[in-house]
Amino acid sequence: MNLSNIVEIPREIPIQGAEILVLATFNIRSLNRKKIPDVNLIFEEYPIDLAVLTETWWNENTTEEYLRSCIPIGYKLLSAPRSEGRAGGIGLVYNYHITASLKKT
């Protein structure tokens, strides 16, 4: 993970009286134990409310314990592993004050 690729996009128009929701997306390409400290650092440095992780490479055999170890304190995780083949899969990391659920189709 190259942390120098993080770019903060300035807000052009201020929104008076509105709460701001900070979103992020990461093509994580296999969230493994070596990358977890980098992910946690990003969440510590930026006030991210919700992040989409693509290419997690998790599968149906990935344990709950392992998934919990991948997310920073104060966040929850929804995971949709790829059911067939290699790679793929997505995750949604979101702040504990947000309510989210996975909709099966």
Q: Which domain holds residue 61?
A: 20-95
Digit-by-digit pLDDT tens for the chain (105 residues) are: 555 666 666 656 565 665 778 888 888 887 777 777 788 888 888 888 999 988 888 888 888 888 888 888 899 999 888 777 777 888 899 999 888 887 776
Give me the pLDDT at residue 9, please.
61
Structural domain contains residue 100: no
Residue with tokens 């344990």: 63
Structural domain contains residue 27: yes
Question: Distance between CA atoms of 58 and 78, rounded to whole angstroms?
Answer: 12
Structural domain contains residue 105: no
- Which is it for strands 50-54 and 23-27: parallel, antiparallel or unpaired? parallel
Three-state SS sequence of 32-87: CCCCHHHHHHHHHHCCCCEEEEECCCCCCCCCHHHHHHCCCCCEEEEEECCCCCCC
Nearest to 89 by CA among 101, 81, 78: 81
Tens digits of residue pLDDT in 47-77: 889 999 888 888 888 888 888 888 888 999 9
